[in-house]
Amino acid sequence: MTTITIAYRNIFRNRRRSIMTMLAIIVSAMAVVLFGGYVAMIMLQLETEFVRRSGHLQIFRAGYFDFGAGQPEAFGIGGYAALIDRLRADLVLAPKLRVVTSTLAVTGIAGNFAEDASKTVFAQGQVPSERERMRHWDDYGVGSGRHRTSALSDDDVEGGVIGIGVARMLFLCDDLGVNDCPAPPADLTTRVVTAQDVPDEDFSDLTALDAVEPAHTDPRPKLDLLAATAGGAPNVVSLAINRAESQGNKVIDDNFIAMHLTLAQRLVFGRGTPKVTAVVLQLVHTADMAAARAYLTRLFVAEGLPLEVRDFKDLNPRYGQITGLFRAIFTFIALIMGVIVVFTVVNTMTMSVMERITEIGTLRALGLRRGGVRRLFVAEGLMLGMIGASLGVGLALAAAAAINGAGLTWLPPGNADPVDFKLVTVEAPQLVLSAWVLLMALAALSSLLPANKAARMPVVDALRHV
């Protein structure tokens, strides 16, 4: 018969009160674990989405990140193929790497001349097979969802994908089968091109390009992409649109074009030496990101290469904003729950002390030290916390399993495609364990105040208490 045994029996002396206290702890544990699981899910899905899109790390020419947007010719990385080979063969880095690919960011004008429509766009040249491999990164098992297969392929150099906003503004919705495309305003659809609309410029170079191109037999809708070459001259390529895709963000939707790297390089560098704006590294595990970044930085400094490394958090500031927001909400909820637990346990234990003053006096008279009395009440608080937190965590895990098993999907912030709604609970044992331990500790600490009061009670006064 130990202090724990006595404490255990004592908490069931007033069953209703103890059950109400445990209920408060159970609800708190469930709230913390389930909401924590929800926040963890958002963070992991967000990270998964960003890592799939932009990799963990991107290597740029020094200065590109701050000054190079829209200037691929000035901030391009020449000899990028050798750099990629070098990274793939690096003994330290290679085991950590999943995909190493290159990308070329281009700003230009996309024109659908059949509809007399054009707009500025942000185009990204990619190696389709490597990008497709990146889209299957799922280190946390949270990104399965519904996979959209890539509409680009390595063999289709002319093919491209555009954002649904680009499709809408260039009047390609019907051709590309985009649903829910609003009809354009009347003054746009009835617009008649007049002589005054045609700028007084010489387009002979462009028409010459058309002249040398073979006649199109490709049935896909086309866009003409206009951009400045490295030498400053305008250049045009024709892009066959495979699909219009939602990018989960209106600004991107309205400006995005994905195309084959070769075509993008042809647009920017013509017949000159092709370059890329970034070498993209997707790692096997995010945990290796800081080490890989530091290693690369040291490597470039040691070899005097004018390159810099950025991680996906630098590239996607929204990641930090969204995770920060959810962390703050989680902290707020956890604090509220903690305060509820503290007040409930303090109230319960104070009532318990008040009801047992004579008993405390008796125990002290029999020879129990002040510390023994304190231990007894703290043990009772701890036990309330242990039972409540265990039940709460158990119920939360069961609820999470039921929710996860229901096959729900949802669209997390920043995502273009729906993903599985899977609360991250069992997969985040540190969250579950922390909630369990913290609630127990909180219950034990909350009982310290009434326990001290009980321990400091003069024995004579306690025995005299009626």
Closer Cβ to another protein, 79 or 371, answer by number: 371
Closer Cβ to another protein, 445 or 463, answer by number: 463
The residue whose two tokens read 């051709």 is: 175
Closer Cβ to another protein, 119 or 465, answer by number: 465
Looking at residue 178, what DSSP letter applies?
Answer: -
Residue 314 backbone dihedrals phi, psi, to 5 degrees: -65, -40
Report the alpha-carbon distance of residue 173 to residue 112 in Å, rounded.
12
Closer Cβ to another protein, 17 or 370, answer by number: 370
Closer Cβ to another protein, 1 or 211, answer by number: 1
CB of 346 to another protein, least distance (A): 22
CB of 371 to another protein, least distance (A): 7
Amino acid making up residue 233: A
Q: How many CA atoms, within 13 angstroms, populate the side-chain half-sphere of residue 179? A: 0
Is residue 122 within 8 Å of residue 107, measured between CB atoms?
A: yes
Residues that bind another protein (CB under 8 A): 1, 6, 9-10, 13, 358-359, 361-372, 459-460, 463
Closer Cβ to another protein, 11 or 41, answer by number: 11
Closer Cβ to another protein, 10 or 48, answer by number: 10
Closer Cβ to another protein, 9 or 136, answer by number: 9
CB of 326 to another protein, least distance (A): 45
CB of 460 to another protein, least distance (A): 5
Q: In a 10 Å sphere around its CB, with 0-12 CB exposed, 13-18 middle and 19+ buried, how is residue 56 labelled?
A: buried
Report the alpha-carbon distance of residue 254 to residue 148 in Å, rounded.
20
Is residue 25 within 8 Å of residue 392, measured between CB atoms?
A: yes
CB of 293 to another protein, least distance (A): 58
CB of 424 to another protein, least distance (A): 42
CB of 462 to another protein, least distance (A): 9
CB < 8 Å & 24+ apart, contacts of 342-347: 342/442, 342/445, 342/446, 344/20, 344/21, 344/24, 344/25, 345/21, 345/25, 345/381, 345/384, 345/385, 345/442, 345/443, 345/446, 345/447, 346/446, 346/447, 346/449, 346/450
Closer Cβ to another protein, 6 or 329, answer by number: 6
Torsion sign, CA atoms 266, 269, 272, 273: negative
Buried b / exposed e across 437-446, counting CB within 10 Å, b at 16+?
A: ebbbebbbbb
CB of 351 to another protein, least distance (A): 16
Report the alpha-carbon distance of residue 157 to residue 210 in Å, rounded.
18
CB of 355 to another protein, least distance (A): 11
Closer Cβ to another protein, 306 or 458, answer by number: 458
CB of 11 to another protein, least distance (A): 10
User: What does 286-346 look like in DSSP terms, one character per residue?
Assistant: GGGHHHHHHHHHHHHHHHT--EEEEEHHHH-HHHHHHHHHHHHHHHHHHHHHHHHHHHHHH
Torsion sign, CA atoms 452, 455, 461, 466: positive
CB of 366 to another protein, least distance (A): 6
Cα end-to-end span (Å), the chain: 28
Closer Cβ to another protein, 12 or 113, answer by number: 12
Torsion sign, CA atoms 162, 308, 299, 52: negative
The residue whose two tokens read 């007894």 is: 376
